[in-house]
A = this chain, B = another copy of it.
Amino acid sequence: MLLRLRRGLPGTQTDSILALAKELGYRARFLEGSNGLLHLEGTGKPEHRSRFEDCAGVEAILDAGDARERHERLPGQPDTVVAVGDARFGGGQVALIAGPCAVESGERLLEIARAVQAAGAVLLRGGAYKPRTSPYSFQGKGEEGLELLARARAETGLGIVTEVLDPRDVEKVAEVADMLQIGARSMTNTPLLAEVGATGKAVLLKRGFSATVREFLLAAEFLLARGNARVVLCERGVRGFDKTTRNLLDVGAVAHMKLATHLPVIVDPSHAAGRSELVRPLARAGIAAGADGLIVEVHTATSEARSDGAQAISAEVFAAIAKDTAAICAIDRRTLVRPHASPARA
């Protein structure tokens, strides 16, 4: 490991860093002629990096050496494939999640579920608990929404992806969900991450509004450290300086993460776009950049959507996205996972 110490550090601070290094089993040596570069020889562990990052006198970890974290892809390590119902994310398999922003009524949900399944979705999304910016906005239907989701699964056979906001709701939501979504606003909610990690359920972890890739991967590390390896990362656009689009879809982060971690990475073009007419090009861009799937907001009557309606697309546009996805996947021999026949239809 290589540490850069702060300039003009008092001797007591330097001593406490050297003592920590020794305690963790490293041999420490300052580089000649450098401004406080401390080289540690020895076998690193994931948690050591954070121990040094916590030290007052350490300005930066320039090289983490062996102190690898669980999300890191070792050279040659294959993708982790996360299976949820019929869906497979990673290892050249691409899957589509679609559905309304919020669960509104049973009929509407079922109508949308059938439409997205027919078009190519293998998982149904829909929020029962909605994180909102204003206390006066619609906050979701709660437990009633969960029941409607359970019914939609029974009718269609689609696995359910739904968000959980409150650690006290995890158990209840996990009874219905096949995949627990942790939203962008909750990426830093460590009590929630811990509770969700403990369920062992597949997790869809969204990147925070302005989370760096490292912070995003460390949020995943909270889940992995709890023993839950079924984590799918979701790039949903980051906050930018220009309001032309709602968020900036960070396709470079997608490409980087496909190299840096073994976890699957999907893209949410709906939240990145903020406007329905931009969803399809962003979906294409995400898949072309290497994403292992998409999560898309679809509504069969967009004018009546009670939340984020501006970005919901119709089932027809979603079908076009599914077709685009299959075609782009074919270019580099990836496979779009197809929905099975639904039990209701069988």
Contacts and interface: CB of A to CB of B under 8 A. Distances in A.
Interface in A15-52: 16, 31-35, 37, 39, 41, 46-47, 49-51
Contacts of A58: 310
B244 A240 contact: no
Binding site secondary structure of chain A:
mixed
Interface in A93-129: none
A154 interface: no
Interface residues of A, number: 111
Interface string A6-18: 1001101100100
Contacts of A57: 303, 309-310
A316 to B, nearest CB: 14
B167 A13 contact: no
Interface stretch (A143-151, A275-283, A334-342): A275-283
Contact of A239 (B53, B241, B328): B241
Contacts of A47: 136
A304 interface: yes
Interface string A194-210: 00000000000000111
Contacts of A209: 208-210
Nearest to A11: B303
Contact of A62 (B4, B12, B242): B4
Nearest to A304: B16
B35 A31 contact: no
B167 A33 contact: no
Contacts of A59: 310
Most chain B CB within a 10 A radius of its CB, from A255, A259, A285, A328: A285
A318 to B, nearest CB: 16
Given A10-B303, A281-B289, 11 more contacts: A2-B31, A32-B39, A33-B39, A47-B136, A51-B136, A212-B243, A244-B252, A251-B282, A259-B277, A281-B290, A328-B328
